[in-house]
Amino acid sequence: MTGSRPAGALTLSLLGGGARVAVGVLWMIEGFLKYRAGFGAADIELVAQSTEGNPRVPWFFEPLGSVMGTAPALFGVVMPALEVVLGVLLVAGSLTRIAAFVSIGTLMLYWSADQLIAQYPAMVVLSAVVLLLPGSGRFGMDGWFRARRSRATGRRPG
């Protein structure tokens, strides 16, 4: 009976790791596509304008939409950079749970702005899997740092 517990933990770590890498690759693709397409201030202005008076945009997005409209050049640089950074962190398995949480928040922000792209729901599910399975970073930088710290303190990694 004791042999099944490590196998189950390994299975969950592999499942979480697969979801982590998949959503990370999707984020990198999103960010690089924006860079390649010349995404910038005009795109952010378009998003901000499209949210004004849009009945599908919830009330809580209005303050952010106004900020986006006043600093479109900043958001035009920050959003693709955020997407690439999220992708790199998730693929590398570094700050895994934080990156998964920010991933879900970013996708909900996009969804709130009525910017729903076909892969966003799948990315939310993959990010949720990463967030819910604590071993998602086991085969990444998080796992490596945890094992290294455990060796340094003489404890078994957990």
Q: Is the pLDDT of residue 3 over 90?
A: no
Distance CA(110)–CA(57), nearest Å, equals 10
Tens of pLDDT along 110-132? 999 998 888 999 999 999 999 99
CB 20 within 8 A of CB 93: yes
Q: What 3-state class would DSSP assign to 106?
A: helix
Residue with tokens 């997005």: 61
Whole-model pTM: value is: 0.87
Q: What is the mean pLDDT of the chain?
A: 90
